[in-house]
Chains A and B, each alone.
Chain A
């Protein structure tokens, strides 16, 4: 088919297949159209980059730029030799645009059928047969304006997007000239500092002041996270000018960084007291120190704070140089109950984090039974049972 012939040049295999498909679908009507007289509408697809032109009859079509790849917008300019039409328009992908009332009325109808990348658009041009064969002119013959226009793509990246307070972040700023012209006076626009960070080194970043078509440059600076929270990092602005000193600027994409609180050790001391022992009896007490935090605990000192008179306990005081997050240390010490009673013993664990000294207090009950224990118990239980039995008896007596 004729449109197959049109899709020449650097069209990929993908387009070929698409073309065949469209051809098959349109075959009957296309044939019908071409077999009619000269007034029938026909079309042709062109793959264009900025500056490329297509001439059809008196019409000239020029591709200006792909304005937005994600939104599917391409800007074209259509003019008519001898005046009467000179219009620049943004085309939305897949919606036909009429110029001079469209192909049916002798004008043009343009549709952006595909935007393979941010410099390429595939345009469908519809026109009356009698306008003759359209001809494409590559960009080198384009307007001075386009050839001179630089365009910087700006990127700002953090080496991590989740950090803790105190962590440092390496930020890379990169500018690439994707326009045709030379970019001059390339400058990173100074922004007010973000309060969540302290700026350590390399700020404000400096880029090469001139970037040719296709060139790029990057700079690095270092931040330190200072406050926890979720931070919206705004787009970074880079300003530049073309060879005629016209100013432009472009932004990087904004993004989010999460700053978590500083990591800390957090010790838990678990004491398993001995089973109640008789006075004079022996038992053993188990002590476990667990680091439930997310930073190592250093120089962990466990000490017995106060020992009641009726108890003998030894070997509680220990030192551990380091307990890793999630790690634990456990040991057992002997206890001797000298006289009966309920005792409370207090333990203190002190330890260090990176920049702090922390303490943890724990206490445990130790029971030393006396002889009268059981007797007291029965003194309580027997009356309760008797009372219960009495109430139940009365209840039965008056329950019908």
Chain B
């Protein structure tokens, strides 16, 4: 049995964590928490961490004891330096809250890269986790901002991603808000949709890693996949239904851009992959599955394959690490431009003020 720790840091991380908790109730009714029980495939501990108490209050399916408020007098205000200081000041409190929950084999740190709290806490948190738990695998689930959200968010995303890569995390799963824009109308429901998508994939991933059946993937395989390529990847997911229960098309669909959380062309950009297929026996045509996986292996370095027999239509999760990430590069270029513009603006403003002061340089106040 795996011991899994899930940390949601900052508002975005908190919300995705809440979506995970909602999934554990069965994922449907708002009132589920009153009559149903949370069911995780493994032993899963969830903890929502935030400096903003209102963001914590907003959660619905996360138990009160699993919400940790880090007191920070004035909040973080998207300033990562303030955020880091806040983490250092409260490090022992935060870590002891985690350590109280026992030992862990696998940790997910879910955060946005662009905000203040999550993006500054997460790299430091990963560092601390690695220090304290010797055999832990830490994966960060990082949410990239909408590109229109402004220069500070872009800049934060650029720097915090670099830090996430520099600390010894075992890999980065990317979720791109921009890419998921097509989801639906207003921002709140778009967030909800994205968060549910992430939650479903994570729940399924844990289930697959912990299954005791034959021919399945395990934590070791997952680690190997995540350490491939740039150690950055994303997740695809597809659930077949009674109209087309074909396992072949379910697998193919899980590779399609529409099923991924980050824009990538799997056949050209992936470095390693893991494909897990679940479903009733009658749909699990081994030949077809093997053919599909072999086809993928032809383009991608290595593909781990897992089969789980469980009642239902085929369900496919695919995890990739990428060898090239043009989208990330583009984001850095955009961030650099934004930072440069910001700098220029500041300088112009400063110069204007200096010029203004120059007018009274040799003068004194007269009364």
Contact = CB atoms under 8 A, between A and B. Distances in A.
B64 A397 contact: yes
A190 to B, nearest CB: 85
B34 A391 contact: yes
A309 to B, nearest CB: 45
B319 to A, nearest CB: 31
B256 interface: no
A400 B33 contact: no
Interface residues of B, number: 12
A375 interface: no
B57 interface: yes
Contacts of B57: 400
B171 to A, nearest CB: 31
B67 to A, nearest CB: 5
B34 A394 contact: yes
Contacts of B64: 396-400
A395 interface: yes
B33 A398 contact: yes
Contact of B63 (A390, A391, A398): A398
Contacts of A391: 34
A400 B48 CA distance: 11
Contacts, number: 23
A400 to B, nearest CB: 5
Contacts of B63: 397-398
Interface in B27-69: 33-34, 56-57, 59-65, 67
Give the one of B57, B61, B64, B67 with max A CB within 10 A.
B64
A269 B63 CA distance: 60
Nearest to B58: A400
Contacts of B34: 390-391, 394-395
B60 to A, nearest CB: 7
Interface in A347-397: 390-391, 394-397
A394 B60 CA distance: 12
Interface residues of A, number: 9
A399 B63 CA distance: 7
Nearest to B69: A400
Contacts of B61: 398
A297 B99 CA distance: 89
Nearest to A399: B64
Interface in B66-88: 67
Contacts of A390: 34
B239 to A, nearest CB: 28
Contacts of B65: 397
A399 B60 CA distance: 8
Contacts of A395: 34
Contacts of B60: 398
A395 B34 CA distance: 7
A391 B33 CA distance: 9
A32 B62 CA distance: 110
Contacts of B56: 400
B179 to A, nearest CB: 32
A392 to B, nearest CB: 10
A400 B55 CA distance: 11
Interface string A245-287: 0000000000000000000000000000000000000000000
A400 B61 CA distance: 11
A172 to B, nearest CB: 83
A119 B299 CA distance: 130
B329 to A, nearest CB: 40
Contacts of B62: 398, 400
A9 B57 CA distance: 103
B48 to A, nearest CB: 9
A398 B35 CA distance: 13
Contacts of B67: 400
A394 B59 contact: no
Nearest to B57: A400
A109 B65 CA distance: 107
Contacts of B33: 394, 397-398
A400 B69 CA distance: 10
A348 B34 CA distance: 53
Contacts of A396: 64
A394 B62 CA distance: 11
Interface string B314-338: 0000000000000000000000000
B275 to A, nearest CB: 36
B13 to A, nearest CB: 16
Contacts of B59: 400
Contacts of A397: 33, 63-65
A364 B91 CA distance: 74
A127 to B, nearest CB: 91
B22 to A, nearest CB: 11
A399 B56 CA distance: 10
Nearest to A396: B64
Interface string B264-276: 0000000000000
A398 B64 CA distance: 5
Nearest to B48: A400
Nearest to A390: B34
Interface string B77-116: 0000000000000000000000000000000000000000
A400 B59 CA distance: 8
A397 B63 CA distance: 6
B163 to A, nearest CB: 29
B73 to A, nearest CB: 20
Contacts of A398: 33, 60-64
B336 to A, nearest CB: 40
B237 to A, nearest CB: 27
Nearest to B65: A397
B233 to A, nearest CB: 33
Give the one of A390, A394, A399 with max B CB within 10 A.
A394
A396 B62 CA distance: 12
A395 B60 CA distance: 10
Interface of B: 33-34, 56-57, 59-65, 67
23 contacts: A390-B34, A391-B34, A394-B33, A394-B34, A395-B34, A396-B64, A397-B33, A397-B63, A397-B64, A397-B65, A398-B33, A398-B60, A398-B61, A398-B62, A398-B63, A398-B64, A399-B64, A400-B56, A400-B57, A400-B59, A400-B62, A400-B64, A400-B67
Which 4 A-B pairs give the minimum distances between C-beta atoms? A400-B64, A400-B67, A394-B34, A398-B33
Given A398-B33, A398-B64, A400-B57, 5 more contacts: A390-B34, A394-B33, A400-B56, A400-B62, A400-B67
